[in-house]
Structure 1
Amino acid sequence: MKALKAGKILLAEPFMLDPNFKRAAVLLCDHGDDGSIGFVINRPLNHRINAILEDFPEFDAEVFFGGPVESETTLHYLHNVGDLLEGSIKVSNGVYWGGDFEKLKFLIASELIQPSNIRFFLGYTGWGEGQLSEEMTTGSWVIADTDANYLFKMDPNELWQEIMKNKGKTYTVIAQMPDSANWN
């Protein structure tokens, strides 16, 4: 699939039943022949980073459910300060993944990184070789372009609907469909 690449957002089709991905917006951060990795960007966990990490500067940042893979043990982060954080990987314009964790803590303690610059994720979403392409052919996902504002400026609870609306035409109608068929 040519349109699949790092930096794209995958929107779950509106009737996906898997609770991990129901109305999920997943930012694809790595995609290749051997598999894909992304993060669900619209599932806040109602936990702050300091409740999860003990040795971390005081920082009022929410933690998100990144996906079902290693969701109990693995912390990832997406940010918009790639020029400050060595080792970060550019995912798309204004969006970077990871980087030197000790430098991150220093930048936060120095107040050079604010909560509006970063999103933390427990776990990630992963697909094995060919798995995501297969899911695309069955219509499980809709591909959308990434905008850094989706991560750092918008209400995550409205993200799936907003990104779907931004695709225009038919997708605007899909975005307005009720979350449950019982509401019809």
Structure 2
Amino acid sequence: MPSNVEIKAHLREPDFVRKKAQELSGNNTSEVLHQEDTFFHCPNGRLKLREFKEDPTKLSQLVFYDRPDTTGPKLSKFSVTESHHPDQLKSTLSLALGVKGIVKKTRTLIMVGQTRVHIDEVDRLGSFMELEVMMQPDQTTADGTKIADDLMEELGIQPSDLISCAYMDLILQNVEGN
């Protein structure tokens, strides 16, 4: 199963982080994605159907992932299946597992070496950043953690900015807290 070393952080200055990540990428390019993730109840890990709203011809992705809910760099194992039929897939999974919730976000994707830097504007939550160090077969978790730690420092991410859970969990916490 493929894996990433990941971190997620609340952003105080998304424009600064976006600009710095573009500088570090060496080519100043980025891709803007409008994503809608439907999360399903799942006994192990997390299961979501990702739809790309900016391009209805783009394949949707059914994504299973498993990672600990801890702050700081963490290993995430995942599996992705693409689909031409997101509506039918969503209907079937909803009937079988039930919908946990929906996360809508505008994501700016910037590649810095082997790391996907996501600058996210998440509906109902605000500005966040995710780093996904795409692990190579010959790399250890320690190698990925070092890459993530170094990039966090270059982007000015403080340990106090780190969050441990998924956006879906934060949305559910906000709903339950209100």
TM-score (norm 2): 0.35
Report which of the two has the higher share of strand: 2
TM-score (norm 1): 0.35
Higher relative contact order (CA closer than 8 Å, sequence separation 6+): 2
